[in-house]
Amino acid sequence: MKRSPLVHRLLALFAAGWLLLDFPLLQLWLSRPLALFAVWAALIAALAWIMERDGD
């Protein structure tokens, strides 16, 4: 079964978010709350950009 490019992009974004907010790196971000917010906001912005793009 072939998946669309949208599914691949969403899966890649999910994996990146998981890795960036996983326990070891989350400890790094917790020492810098502004950086944690920036990472979180960047993930949301990337999700919005992917979902609002026109078709390929």
Q: Could you report the per-residue pLDDT of 17-53, keeping only the tens digit for each?
A: 999 999 988 898 889 999 999 999 999 999 999 999 8
pLDDT of residue 3: 82
DSSP letter for each residue of the chain = -PPPHHHHHHHHHHHHHHHHTSHHHHHHHHT-HHHHHHHHHHHHHHHHHHHHSPP-
Name, in order, each residue with C-beta under 8 angstroms of 43's C-beta and a sequence gap of 6 or more. Answer: 13, 16, 17, 20
pLDDT of residue 2: 81
pLDDT of residue 56: 55
Token pair belonging to 21: 């907010």
pTM: 0.85
